């Protein structure tokens, strides 16, 4: 009797996800990704033009400029993680 | 003079200052500091000064001209070439709006150059000697200035400006009549100053924070010219003159009414008292003590110039995303060249070290 009950519990079907929730999650994940990518792109464009100007006059600070240029990548990485978490919830 | 191309101002287009401001900040980091000035002042002779300067950004400009000799005049030429080259470089990478604003402010170099040529022609000085004093850092190119310089007299020089269609031709044509009548350059020079003040004020009258910065600087420059006119009038008989005609429009604090009021005052003390509450009050009060000692109006000229340089140089610090950084650098660079010229010329004529130090403007 007990094993039969246990088997019955395991075989219980998952409740179907409402399609509107699924679409909402996908849109939210896409939005998080898109906004963070645009923000990172904007920041990199500004840093890039300023960095090019600085490098034209002071090539010795190139390491700093490359570091600063890479920093906005964190924004898009955070957006990517947010998108995954939204989709997985 | 090493540059030949003219830069005409543009008023529209891109407004991103990220690249240009970062580049100018990089250039600003190479401006000479006080300890370098001290090293230069304490140099034994011109040879050591040249050696010290060669190790800075002035090296390439010095190497270009050292073939002509190793004296103060050659160093002076190298310094001027460096100024012109630096200005052209900045105008070359500035965005359209910034170039328009900077070129408008640099227009006062055109006025300086034309006045220098006219004075040289008026006094019948050799063209080479006058040419050494020119600094083609404004709109007018070296070729255009040389075309005026090659003429025999003031009238021919103005005719050349009209033929070439130079921006100041109309003002010169307007003033030539009085010159022909009186034989004095004052009217012509006033006409030039007025033309520049009106032209630049009109160009900077559009909206926007960057135009406002440039307008404040131009307004201060015009105020200073008006104040210097007032001080000069103290030593001249002006009772028969209409003083209003000497007022330049576009200033910040010295309007036509105040100008006429102070121009009509009988002594410098009264003028200083009346100007105490204006933005130039502190600078003039500081100079007043020195004026009592030396009794020369040049102390006020120096004090006002000092005020302008400090104001413009420090204004850019608070404007990292606008034209302020560039305008501030243009002024700081000009001040650096002026300081170097004072040191080199002063030392070469045997000026005492303390006197040389007094003449420098250190911001």
Closest chain B residue to the Cα of A59, Cα to Cα: B26
Q: pLDDT band for position B114 (50/70/90)?
A: very high
Min Cα distance B15 → chain A (Å) is 13
Cβ proximity of B187 and B167 under 8 Å: no
Residue with tokens 């102070």: B262
Tell me the per-residue pLDDT of B42-89, one tens digit each, with 9 for 90 and over: 998 899 999 999 999 999 999 999 998 888 999 999 999 999 999 999
Q: What is the DSSP string of B147-180?
A: HHHTSSSHHHHHHHHHHHT-TTHHHHHHHHHHHH
What is the reported pLDDT for B3? 43
Tell me the per-residue pLDDT of A29-72, one tens digit each, with 9 for 90 and over: 999 999 999 999 999 999 999 999 999 999 999 999 999 999 99
Residue B361 tokens read as 């403007």
> Is the CB of A50 less than 8 angstroms away from the CB of B16?
no
- Bigger pLDDT: B192 vs B243: B192
What is the reported pLDDT for B2? 44
Q: pLDDT band for position A88 (50/70/90)?
A: confident
Q: Which contacts of B131-135 are long-range, i.e. CB under 8 A and separated by 24 or more positions? A: B131/B1, B132/B73, B132/B76, B132/B77, B134/B1, B135/B1, B135/B80, B135/B83, B135/B84, B135/B109
Closest chain A residue to the Cα of B17, Cα to Cα: A50
Question: Across the interface, which of B20, B29, B30 has its CB nearest the CB of A53?
Answer: B20
What is the reported pLDDT for B237? 64
CA B141 – CA B93 distance, rounded (Å): 18
Residue with tokens 């200033």: B251
CB contacts of A49 in chain B (<8 Å) are 16, 18-19, 22
Residues of A near B (CB-CB distance < 8 A)? Answer: 46, 49-54, 56-58
CA B114 – CA B100 distance, rounded (Å): 21
CB contacts of A53 in chain B (<8 Å) are 18-24, 26, 93
What is the reported pLDDT for A12? 62
- Measured between CB atoms, does B20 come within 8 Å of chain A? yes
> Is the CB of A53 less than 8 angstroms away from the CB of B27?
no
Q: What is the arithmetic mean of pLDDT over B26-43? A: 92
If we measure between CA atoms, which residue out of B34, B92, B38, B88 comes closest to residue B61? B88
Q: Choose from B21, B23, B98, B320 for mutation: most chain A CBs within 10 A.
A: B23
In this predicted structure, the answer to whether residue A4 has a pLDDT above a threshold of 80 is no
> A–B: how many Cβ contacts below 8 A?
34
In this predicted structure, the answer to whether residue B5 has a pLDDT above a threshold of 60 is no
- Measured between CB atoms, does B292 come within 8 Å of chain A? no
Question: Across the interface, which of B18, B25, B30 has its CB nearest the CB of A49?
Answer: B18
């Amino acid at each position: 009797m007990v094993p039969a009950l246990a088997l019955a519990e395991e075989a219980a079907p998952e409740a179907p996800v409402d399609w509107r929730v699924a679409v909402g999650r996908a849109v939210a994940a896409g939005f998080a990704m898109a906004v963070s990518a645009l923000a990172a792109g904007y920041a990199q464009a500004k840093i890039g033009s300023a960095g090019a100007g600085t490098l034209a006059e002071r090539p010795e600070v190139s390491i700093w400029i490359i570091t600063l240029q890479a920093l906005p990548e964190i924004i898009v990485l955070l957006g990517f993680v947010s998108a995954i978490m939204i989709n997985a919830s | 003079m090493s540059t030949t191309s003219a830069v005409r101002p543009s008023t529209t287009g891109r407004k991103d200052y990220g690249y240009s401001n970062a580049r100018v900040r990089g250039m600003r980091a190479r401006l000479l500091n006080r300890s370098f000035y001290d090293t230069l002042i304490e140099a034994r002779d011109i040879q050591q000064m040249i050696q010290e300067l060669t190790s800075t950004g002035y090296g390439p400009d010095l190497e270009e001209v050292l073939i002509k000799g190793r004296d103060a005049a050659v160093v002076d030429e190298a310094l001027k070439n460096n100024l012109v080259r630096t200005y052209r470089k900045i105008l070359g990478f500035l965005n359209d709006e910034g170039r328009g604003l900077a070129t408008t402010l640099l227009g006062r170099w055109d006025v300086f150059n034309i006045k220098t040529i006219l004075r040289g022609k008026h006094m019948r000085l050799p063209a080479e000697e006058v040419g050494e004093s020119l600094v083609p850092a404004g709109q007018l190119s070296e070729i255009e200035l040389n075309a005026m310089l090659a003429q025999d007299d003031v009238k021919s020089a103005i005719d050349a400006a009209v033929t070439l269609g130079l921006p100041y031709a109309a003002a010169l044509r307007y003033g030539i009549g009085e010159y022909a009548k009186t034989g004095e350059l004052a009217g012509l020079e006033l006409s030039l100053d007025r033309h520049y003040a009106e032209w630049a004020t009109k160009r900077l009258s559009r909206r926007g924070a960057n135009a406002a910065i440039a307008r404040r600087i131009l307004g201060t420059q015009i105020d200073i010219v008006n104040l210097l006119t007032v001080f000069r009038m103290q030593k001249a008989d002006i009772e028969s003159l209409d003083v209003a005609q000497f007022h330049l429009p576009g200033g910040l604090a010295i309007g036509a009414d105040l100008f006429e009021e102070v121009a009509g005052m009988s002594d410098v003390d009264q003028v200083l008292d009346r100007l105490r509450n204006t933005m130039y009050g502190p600078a003039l009060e500081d100079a007043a003590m020195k004026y009592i000692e030396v009794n020369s109006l040049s102390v006020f000229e120096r004090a006002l110039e000092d005020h302008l340089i400090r104001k413009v140089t420090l204004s850019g610090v608070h404007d990292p995303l606008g034209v302020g950084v560039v305008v501030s650098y243009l002024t700081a660079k000009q001040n650096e060249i002026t300081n170097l010229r004072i040191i080199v010329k002063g030392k070469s004529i045997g000026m005492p070290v303390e006197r040389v130090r007094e003449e420098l403007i250190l911001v």
